[in-house]
Amino acid sequence: MIRLFFTFFLLISYLYAQDTTICKSCHPAIYNEFQSSFHKKSIPKFDKVHKAVWDRHPAKKKGNYQCAKCHSPQKEQGVTCLTCHTIVDIKEHKKSNENIYETKKKYLYSAQKGMEDKKVIYKEKSSWFGLVKEVEGSPYHDIDYTNKNYYTGKVCMGCHSHKQNGVGFELCKTDMKGVNHKQNCITCHMPKVKGSATTIRSSKTHAYHGFAGVRNAHKMLEKYIEIDIKKEQDGFVVKIKNKAPHELLTHPLRVLELRVLINGELYKSKTFQKVLGKDSKPTPPWLATEFIRDDMIKPLESRVLRFNKDLKNGDSVEVLLGYYIVAPDSLKKLGLEGSDDLKRFHILKREFINVK
């Protein structure tokens, strides 16, 4: 009995010391997905792109890690399970938003359909003079399903809403246009996948905790992009529909590229991006006062591109829409030119037609 109590005490201690390995015992599928996520890899130690930018930031020499509020809420760790599941509310600010965290220990928040008005508090019930025991909830934490922020995606807006630099310029922004209970950050980036959410009770599916994005599991997001190719008398038209409530790529380091192939050969390519700058010249984020280029596909926008190429019967037209994690012309500046993954063109969506 003493050994059992001591083991339980250690488990709880590890949980609230932000050691997410304890979560694996009840949530193995979720835990394994989380290991590949860029929430897990949100600090320079685990992300070479973040490290490359931070190494060049003037605040690094002072040891003032200015990204910590979102990238490392717990010291020397990335975003953990508790980071997200203890957010009570979001406080809005002009420069960047703020997460308000639960102070009550072992009290977590989540969302589950059909449980919107319920709180599951751990209880042990005994009957037959203690011979039969019934347990309700998890022995490791209570769970509150009533927080509306977990159903609307607002829970993500403490870190993913917007960010101004030191001179007041807004570097990035995730609009909430069109966001609702049916489509929001969580429904898109944490889609339902096969497998039980927990070993305590069985479920057919769970919310994907690898957090689909351009750095991880990007193929999950292709359904939010539509590509239509139509032949016209004097050429053809390619229409790209961004069904997301934010720009197709939100990070200013990214580059979106469209490639058009005719009969298997590259015919045209076009890039879309946002380039930070000052006085019409590219600059690091902390010096930027303007976008010297901004043609990224906007939220819910349909971008139409026309090509003056006479197509003949039997021609095939293939369109590839993809991206670079880091703009190719920035790789050398950041010392990342040796990374094959960052140099690679990643395909988000492809479509083709055969001309008749």
Residue pointed to by tokens 């390519």? 269
Average pLDDT, rounded, for the chain: 91
What pLDDT score does 13 carry?
Answer: 46
Check whether domain 218-354 has CATH 2.60.40.10, yes or no: yes
Domain limits, the chain: 24-40+79-207, 218-354
Q: Is the pLDDT of residue 86 over 90?
A: yes
Which pLDDT score, from 0 to 100, does residue 344 have? Answer: 96
pLDDT tens-place string over residues 270-281: 999 999 999 999
- Distance (Å, rounded) from C-alpha 125 to C-alpha 195? 29
Is pLDDT of 132 > 80?
A: no
- Worst-scoring range by mean pLDDT, 8-12, 56-60, 313-317, 338-342? 8-12
Query: Model confidence over 65-75: pLDDT tens digits?
Result: 989 999 998 77
Rounded Cα distance, 199 and 108, in Å: 17
Q: Kindly report, residue by residue over 161-219, the tens digit of the pLDDT.
A: 999 999 999 999 987 665 677 889 999 999 999 999 999 889 999 999 999 999 999 99
Average pLDDT for 305-322: 96
Above 60 in pLDDT, residue 8? no
d(CA 185, CA 152): 8
Specify whether the CB–CB gap between 136 and 169 falls below 8 A.
no
80 vs 132 pLDDT, higher one: 80
Share of the chain above pLDDT 70, in %: 91
E-strand stretches of the chain: 87-91, 98-101, 107-109, 119-120, 123-127, 132-136, 142-144, 162-164, 170-173, 192-194, 205-207, 225-232, 235-242, 255-262, 265-278, 281-282, 290-294, 302-307, 316-324, 346-354
Per-residue pLDDT band for 348 (boundaries 50, 70, 90) equals very high
**pLDDT tens string 91-125:** 999 999 999 999 999 999 999 999 999 999 988 77
User: How would residue 129 be classed by pLDDT, with cut points 50, 70 and 90?
Assistant: low
pLDDT score recorded for residue 15: 46
CB 66 within 8 Å of CB 59: yes
Q: Give the bridge partners for 347, in sequence order.
A: 322
pTM to 2 decimal places: 0.88
- Between residues 335 and 9, the one the model is more confident about: 335
